[in-house]
Chain A
Amino acid sequence: MILSTNLKHVATSAEHAETLANNKNVMICCGRMGPMCLPVYDVMEGLQSEYSHVEFRDMAFDSPEAGVIRNHPACRSFMGLPFVVYYKNGELVAATSSIQNRDQITEILDREF
């Protein structure tokens, strides 16, 4: 199960692990093709050239494989799509729930990466 965005996708938990292993800075938006998620994918697409040191990916929220994000302790209290997670050297360093705008996302990217 993958999303119809122009981002690179994470389809399985194995791919999730591989992405974290092969990239120092990773941002993954775990969502659906819905109103709160689409603007976040769009912002990520736009940031790819500006933040070439960050790997931008998405993951389908309803895929059983997305449990690796949905069930992460940092996301336990989340009740709004999308779940966005940021990893540095394989460790989760930030996570947000619900829609975020460009400024909110770049604030985290600049702070963590």
Chain B
Amino acid sequence: METKQYDVIILGGGPAGLTAGIYLARAKANALVVDTSTIGGQTVLTYEVANYPGVEKTSGYQLSSTMRKQAESFGCDIVSNVSVSNLEVDGKLKSLTVNGKIKYESKAIILATGGRSRTLNVPGEIEFKGKGISYCATCDGDFFQDKEIVVVGGGNSALEEADSLTKYASKVTILHEFDYFQALGHAVEKAKSNPKIEFIMKSHITEFHGDSKLTGISYESLDLGKKSVMKVDGVFIFIGYVANTEKLTDSGVGLNERGEVITDENLQTNIEGVFAAGDNRAVRYRQITTAVADGTIAALNTLEYINQ
């Protein structure tokens, strides 16, 4: 097996990982970004980014591409769409194996594995993905012209996307597990004032129904236990994110009960030379800006670590 040496390996090529790559490579550290998927992480899945300071409206893909070019321009190596095995972080030398062919070794590692959309994990969800169940309103909204749909969730994404989906759908029902919304006031007001939007609170979906495509849902009232069935053509799910830390479970890196990486204020984990940055950390807010800040802090502390 081929072995390659780096000063720092960054696992994950979203905004946190790319920012760390930019800072490390610019400081002349030999840095490698490895991603099991597309470079850009969740940002690539964002249709429009309008609140990234210094950049007027842009697409998530464009922003990610620019970050990637910046990192590469400073000499950061980047590999994407690879499978990672044998992640070893507990020794003085950290290592990971890519596609079972190349072993990368480094003095330090930054875990920037990001997160992914949370799924409901109820029967029928996998079967009807792309056949009535969607996680992207801008991508799939036009398949639901004059249809009746449900939006699951109560955060900003759910309420804003529900409002945008009324451009297509004849009726949008927001189904949420709590009796209040986590979304900001302006998003709640806009959804509540939209005549095409109805609300079912304190309820959750228990099953998706259909044949070749989705035709309905079963849902249950969480306070009364009342079970109901609703005919719907589509369901859009926006219920937050989970950390991509499955590969870290047996690595010795400290995780909390939600599987998020625990770090100190320097973003170092419980293992020396292992840092974490971005959406995989145990934090309240997950934004591109917070991931970028994490990437910066992790990179600077990693530099200090490898140079001590």
Contacts and interface: CB of A to CB of B under 8 A. Distances in A.
Dominant SS among interface residues on chain B: loop
B37 A39 contact: yes
Contacts of A79: 130-132, 134, 140, 143-144, 213-214, 234
A12 interface: no
Contacts of A3: none
A96 B46 CA distance: 21
Interface stretch (A20-28, A30-38, A51-59, A85-93): A30-38
A81 B140 contact: yes
A91 B134 CA distance: 28
Interface string B56-89: 0000110000000000000000001111000000
A41 B130 CA distance: 17
Contacts of A101: 37
Interface string B205-221: 00000001110000000
A98 interface: yes
Nearest to B81: A46
Interface residues of B, number: 31
Contact of B45 (A33, A36, A46, A78): A36
Dominant SS among interface residues on chain A: loop
B38 interface: yes
A81 B141 CA distance: 10
A80 interface: yes
Nearest to B233: A79
Interface residues of A, number: 25
A97 interface: yes
A98 B133 CA distance: 9
A94 interface: no
A42 B80 contact: yes
Given A34-B47, A102-B81, A102-B83, A80 B130 contact: yes
A110 interface: no
Contacts of A80: 129-131, 133-134, 136, 139-140, 143
B3 interface: no
Which of A34, A47, A77, A80 has the largest count of B CB atoms less than 10 A from its CB? A80
B81 A43 contact: yes
A96 B128 CA distance: 11
B138 interface: yes
B36 interface: yes
Given A35-B60, A37-B139, A77 B81 contact: no
Interface in A59-109: 76-81, 96-99, 101-103
A109 to B, nearest CB: 13
Contact of A98 (B38, B39, B130, B214): B130
Contacts of A97: 129-131
A35 B80 contact: no
B255 interface: no
Nearest to A83: B130
B44 interface: yes
Contacts of A99: 45, 135-136
A99 B290 CA distance: 26
A77 B212 contact: yes
B160 to A, nearest CB: 15
Interface in B111-161: 129-136, 138-140, 143-144
Which of A36, A79, A103 has the largest count of B CB atoms less than 10 A from its CB? A79
Nearest to B42: A35
Contacts of B135: 36, 98-99
Interface of B: 36-39, 44-47, 60-61, 80-83, 129-136, 138-140, 143-144, 212-214, 234
Counting from the closest, the 8 A-B pairs by CB-CB distance are: A97-B130, A98-B130, A80-B130, A46-B81, A77-B213, A77-B212, A39-B38, A79-B143
Interface of A: 32-39, 42-43, 46-47, 76-81, 96-99, 101-103
